[in-house]
């Protein structure tokens, strides 16, 4: 892995563990094993790093979309849940949840990139829900985009909320959502 990628992935972990305004270049330097000013060689401003972290997430999601394009809707749903399994396992929150709460403190470049990432995510879920209903894998009465919003908001917030309720509420949400999609 290149130093640049190591910085991006470390920033990503810190943003989702502590929040955008609670991580610093020193935190990253300590993990990557370089000095604070060296990070500016790759990312002149914190904003540049923030944008790069979101771009990394967009790339990862597009890889998943591509790899699962031929799979059935239930498999796509399971892959969607797997994203949050990983988040919950490491006691993080998702990038959209972390950055939307700090939204009013972000530079417009980060805001715009975040908007685009959210759009890609929402479109993907909307599409596989519609496909799943079309093929009788899923059953739901709402518009596919509305159902996608319901499910995505469940997942965004349960990784946050289960930090203070109970960890097992995470699996409870997942199982309830899946069961209801498969029933009827």
Buried-state track 68-104, b at ≥16 Cβ within 10 A, e below 16:
beeeebbebbebbbebbeebbeeebbbbbbbbbebee
Candidates 9, 13, 27, 154; binder of DNA (CB under 7 A) is: 27
Our finding on whether 24 is near DNA (CB under 7 A) is yes
Q: Per CB under 7 A, which of residues 37..76 are in contact with DNA? A: 37-38, 40-42, 44-47
Q: Cα(8)–Cα(4) distance, rounded to whole angstroms?
A: 6
In whole angstroms, the minimum distance from the beta carbon of 40 to a copy of itself comes to: 22
In whole angstroms, the minimum distance from the beta carbon of 165 to DNA comes to: 27
Our finding on whether 115 is near DNA (CB under 7 A) is no
**Closest CB to DNA among 39 and 177?**
39
67 binds, among DNA, a copy of itself, none (CB under 5 to 8 A by kind): none
**Closest CB to a copy of itself among 70 and 164?**
164
Backbone angles phi, psi at 167, to 5 degrees: -60, -35
* C-alpha separations of 162 from 84, 113, 122, 159 in Å: 12, 27, 23, 6
């Amino acid at each position: 892995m290149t130093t640049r990628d190591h910085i991006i992935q470390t920033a990503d972990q810190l943003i989702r563990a502590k929040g955008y305004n609670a991580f610093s270049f020193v935190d990253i330097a300590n993990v990557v094993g370089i000095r604070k000013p060296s990070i500016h060689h790759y990312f002149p401003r914190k904003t540049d790093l923030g944008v790069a972290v979101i771009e990394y997430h967009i790339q990862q999601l597009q890889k998943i979309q591509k790899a699962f394009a031929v799979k059935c809707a239930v498999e796509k749903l399971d892959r969607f849940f797997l994203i949050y399994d990983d988040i919950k396992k490491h006691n993080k929150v998702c990038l959209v949840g972390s950055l939307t709460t700090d939204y009013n403190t972000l530079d417009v470049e980060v805001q715009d990139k975040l908007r685009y990432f959210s759009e890609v995510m929402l479109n993907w879920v909307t599409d596989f829900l519609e496909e799943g209903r079309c093929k009788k894998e899923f059953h739901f009465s709402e518009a596919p985009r509305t159902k996608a919003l319901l499910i995505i908001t469940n997942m965004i917030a349960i990784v946050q909320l289960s930090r203070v309720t109970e960890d097992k509420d995470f699996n409870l949400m997942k199982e309830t959502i899946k069961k209801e999609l498969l029933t009827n």
